[in-house]
Amino acid sequence: MKVFSKIDRFRGEQPFPNWVARITLNTCYDQLRKQKARAEVRFADLSSADIEFVEAIMCRTHDDAPSDHDGRGLVEKLLTTLNARERLILQMIDLEKKSVREVCALTGWGESKIKVTAMRARRKLNDNLKLLEGNHNDEG
């Protein structure tokens, strides 16, 4: 659509396929920039089971957490707040229980990059969970 809407701007200084490729590339960059603004998880977006689970975690009474709720929905929501690389690393290491060496083999990244990315991602998740708790306390 952009190519057709901007066809009047084509001056012929470069080959037409190159001009189209440049528009396509810029469109992709624009989309990636929009995605950088990551989703925010709000307490109001959580299910009642997720809310009970978060409250049990925040009160440090894991025994009080509903036994039929494992927190997967909450984890998925929190993971959406991370960028793709962080999400991938945590999913492989923490959810799929792959070793750092296995992740290195799959991604081609070095061990230190994997470990640092995982550490930073966990810190972000922890910060987001604390934000959730703070928002809940403000509402309550």
In tens, the pLDDT along 26-82 reads 887 677 666 655 555 555 566 666 666 666 655 654 455 445 555 677 777 778 888
Query: Of the ranges 11-15, 41-45, 130-134, which one carries the lowest mean pLDDT score?
Result: 41-45
Secondary structure (DSSP) of 37-86: S-----GGGS-HHHHHHHHHHHTT-GGGS-TT--SHHHHHHHHTTS-HHH
> What's the CA gap between 85 and 15, in Å, rounded?
36
Q: Which of 132, 112, 139 is nearest to 39 (CA)?
A: 132
Q: Are 6 and 26 in contact (CB under 8 A)?
A: no
pTM: 0.52
